[in-house]
Amino acid sequence: MAGELDAIERSFGAAAIAESPQPDAETIARLRSLGYVGFAAPPSGAGGADPKDKIGTMREFRALLTSANEDLKARRHDAAVAKLKKAVALNERAYDAHVLLGSVWQQKGDLERALGEYAAAALLNPGMAAPHLLAADAYLSGGQLERAMERVDRAASLEPDSGEVASVRGRIFERGGRGNEALAEYQRAVALNPSDTSSRGRLVSVAMNLRRYDVAEPQLRMLLKLRYQPARTHFALGRVAEARGDRATAAAEYRRALALDPGLLQARQALSAIGGR
């Protein structure tokens, strides 16, 4: 234990003398456009106010973030922006406030502001992949696939074994019509994070489009075990069976889907099309 503590202490010492990463010109311009003048400068090492004098401020900050989260869930975007701006004014270097504000701007369709907030978050936590993945998602939503991939590559350099990195890269490939590459990335994402139902679902979708039923079927079976959208999963298993010419199994799967969700129109139509009842 003493040896481990010594190693930790030495690592802190190295961190203390390491130079802070400097943002590029594009990042600086984005931060300035948001009013974060001098944001990149590291906080002063000099002693500040007594921490107990900040208790009220921190309580207000946490309350603003909690309320903004509720607004975001209810899609009250303008209310969320107003509260998050107040939160950032209280603590400009709060990583979670910048991430959340970026998400709100992205949902409002203001990608430049969203990218600026993600850039701020990346500067505050330079070792985390998440801000770069969020920026990649913003670029992807705007159809800027090359810029999105640049951000994913940066995230991968920080967290090479991240399933989320593989998943976002798969989405970029899928958006660009590169189905086989998307398939491989989703397979990697699932291997790295077996509980990631979203990547499994995307993997199934791409596999079905590529007629790779050998890949789609085991993923659908696993989704059933994970209790992920069971009605739609049985419907998809029916489509796999039908594509293979197994009409009896397809009809059975469509019936299972309808038993779970009688309003699932696709399953009812598919069952009728193959002569089922």
Cα–Cα distance, 243 to 208 (Å, whole number): 10
Residue 142: CB partners within 8 Å, gap ≥ 6? 111
Cα 260 to Cα 268: distance, rounded to the nearest angstrom: 12
To 10 degrees, what angle do helices 130-141 and 95-107 make?
10
Cβ distance 64 to 86 under 8 Å?
A: yes
DSSP 162: -
pLDDT tens string, the chain, 277 residues long: the values are 766 666 655 554 444 444 445 667 677 777 777 777 566 555 555 555 555 667 888 899 999 999 999 998 999 999 999 999 999 999 888 999 999 999 999 999 999 999 999 999 999 999 999 999 999 999 999 999 999 999 999 999 999 999 999 999 999 999 999 999 999 999 999 999 999 999 999 999 999 999 999 999 999 999 999 999 999 999 999 999 999 999 999 999 999 999 999 999 999 999 999 886 6
Q: Which CATH architecture has domain 24-37+58-126?
A: Alpha Horseshoe (1.25)
Element (H, E) at 80: helix 77-90
One-letter amino acid of 237 = L
Q: Tell me how far apart the alpha carbons of residues 99 and 88 are, in angstroms, rounded to a whole number.
A: 11
Short-list 141, 180, 175, 172, CA closest to 156: 172
Query: What's residue 13's pLDDT?
Result: 46
Asked if the domains 24-37+58-126 and 140-216 are classified in one and the same CATH topology, the answer is yes
13/47 Cα distance (integer angstroms): 19
123-166-114 Cα angle (round to 5): 40
Instruction: Report whether 135 contacts 128 (CB < 8 A).
Output: no
214 class by beta-carbon count within 10 Å (0-12 exposed, 13-18 middle, 19+ buried): exposed
Cβ partners under 8 Å of residue 69, min gap 6: 80, 100
Residue 266, C-beta contacts closer than 8 angstroms, at least 6 positions apart: 235
Instruction: Parse the chain into domains and list their residue ranges.
Output: 24-37+58-126, 140-216, 229-277
CA distance 138 to 106: 7
Question: Tokens 């590029």, residue?
Answer: 24
Given the candidates 3.40.50.300, 3.30.70.260, 3.40.50.620, 1.25.40.10, the CATH classification of the domain at 140-216 is 1.25.40.10
